[in-house]
Amino acid sequence: MKPNAHYAELKDSYLFYHIAQKISAYLAEHPGAYLYRMGIGDVSLPLCDAVIGALHEAVDDQADKERFHGYMPECGAPFLREAIAAHYRSRGVQLEDDEVFVSSGASDELGDILDLFDRDGSSLIMEPAYPAYVDANVMAGRKIIHLPSNEQNGFLPMPCEAAKADLIYICSPNNPTGAAFSRSQLKRWVDFANENGSVILFDAAYEAFIEDDICPHSIFEIPGAETCAIEICSLSKTAGFTGTRLGYTVLPKALVREGMSLNEMWVRNRTTKTNGVSYILQKGGTAVFTPEGQRQIRENLRVYKKNARTLMQALDALGIWYCGGENAPYIWLRCPGGMGSWDFFDFLLNEIQVIGTPGEGFGACGEGYFRFSTFGSPEDTQEAARRLVSLFKQDCR
Ligand code: MLT
């Protein structure tokens, strides 16, 4: 047996696993230390009542001979596909129910979807980027084209000759920078993809955080996207499903390459490789798309947005450059005093027990930057902000 040699090209460990190990080592040396966790984007609020009620009912269904469900349809329960498609239609995006595929989360799907594409093809990754994009492509042995972004282009790179690739990853609002493409900017990427026969993998995990009318929630708000894009979504950040696991993918029937329908290919893939997502979870997820569910998840999102303002005020007071935090649950800042991003991580951990994510973990061009997640509790976020201000109260621009 020959192992997949591409694993040797990966970094030794995955970013968030590596950080978790560093935290464990710190706690082993400082037993009982309390840490202010603004590293991984993991939610701190429980699932909303509408979802919990639906989950309980679904558990009861599984105890009842008449209402019990065995295997679920591999591509998703009709009731959830219908609820998601209706949610899109309510925002002016016309979708058929069978263009929606229920998944167990965006991160799984972002890797699995590569099955649809020729392994000899190339993938464009705009960096800094969610590290799973790179790792999944390395594991699959695909050629990666790294497109760096920076403060000058607002961390929103535009199409160019060097960006020609078979697959184009776009995450907007972006993890980690919090930058979000406007409709007109995204239209340029859609046109570029259609002109070059590329497919855009649009990661919409953070769409619920968009506050303005300039940035689209879905790439399918952009004319032409139905012939070049797949949208991968998650209820993790929108509705607190990080530990519950549920997502969905929109794959239009109009997306065809070399006479092959990617929608039909994905049906073929899912029916072979999965037995569907559990009935209980899909019932819980359906509650997110009810009017009451939408109202309740918005209440939770408001808490995280307030956290963002707390951190932004602290950075403003310190004169530290940052972006994000407006349409996204991440704040991307320049490490003070020209510090390296891993040094800054150690510094904050050791001095004030605050955890963030080093920018270098999102790609080489993230070096010198740092990410704060705003998903912590308000109490922890306020205390972390207070500690930051008192640590850096000297001018640190
Ligand atoms: C992050 O912190 O970048 C995300 O929470 C990771 C993820 O969604 O898997």
Domain coordinates of the chain in residue numbers?
A: 5-47+293-391, 49-289
Alpha-carbon span 225 to 130, nearest angstrom: 22
Q: What is the pTM of this model?
A: 0.97
Q: Which of 107, 175, 304, 375, when mutated, tests ligand 1's pocket best, judged by the most ligand atoms within 8 Å of its CB? A: 175
Cα of 227 vs centre of ligand 1, distance in Å, is 28
Q: Which helix (H) or strand (E) holds 112?
A: helix 106-112
Q: Fold for domain 5-47+293-391?
A: Aspartate Aminotransferase, domain 1 (3.90.1150)
Q: Do domains 5-47+293-391 and 49-289 have the same CATH topology?
A: no
Cα of 329 vs centre of ligand 1, distance in Å, is 11
Nearest atom in ligand 1 to the alpha carbon of residue 236 is 8
Cα of 174 vs centre of ligand 1, distance in Å, is 11
Pairing mode of beta strands 122-127, 167-171: parallel
Pairing mode of beta strands 229-234, 167-171: unpaired
Contact, 72 vs 282, CB < 8 A?
A: yes
Cα of 109 vs centre of ligand 1, distance in Å, is 14
**Integer CA distances (angstroms), 384 to 56, 225, 328, 334, 393, in order:** 36, 41, 19, 17, 14
Cα of 15 vs centre of ligand 1, distance in Å, is 10
Cα of 242 vs centre of ligand 1, distance in Å, is 9
Q: Fold for domain 49-289?
A: Aspartate Aminotransferase; domain 2 (3.40.640)
- The whole-angstrom distance between residue 242's C-alpha and the CA centroid of its chain comes to 11
Cα of 389 vs centre of ligand 1, distance in Å, is 26
Ordered DSSP codes for 25-88: HHHHHSTT---EE-SS----SPPPHHHHHHHHHHHHHHTSTTT---SPPTT--HHHHHHHHHHH
Who lines ligand 1 at CB under 6 A?
40-42, 107, 130, 175, 373
Nearest atom in ligand 1 to the alpha carbon of residue 106 is 8
Nearest protein CA to atom 4 of ligand 1, as residue: 41
* Per-residue pLDDT in tens (0 to 9) along the chain, 397 residues: 999 999 999 998 999 999 999 999 999 999 999 999 999 999 999 999 999 999 999 999 999 999 999 999 999 999 999 999 999 999 999 999 999 999 999 999 999 999 999 999 999 999 999 999 999 999 999 999 999 999 999 999 999 999 999 999 999 999 999 999 999 999 999 999 999 999 999 999 999 999 999 999 999 999 999 999 999 999 999 999 999 999 999 999 999 999 999 999 999 999 999 999 999 999 999 999 999 999 999 999 999 999 999 999 999 999 999 999 999 999 999 999 999 999 999 999 999 999 999 999 999 999 999 999 999 999 999 999 999 999 998 655 4
Contact, 224 vs 216, CB < 8 A?
A: no
Q: How far apart are the first and last CA of the chain?
A: 55
Nearest atom in ligand 1 to the alpha carbon of residue 176 is 3
Nearest atom in ligand 1 to the alpha carbon of residue 131 is 3
Nearest protein CA to atom 9 of ligand 1, as residue: 107
Closest CA to 322 of 146, 171, 176, 184: 176
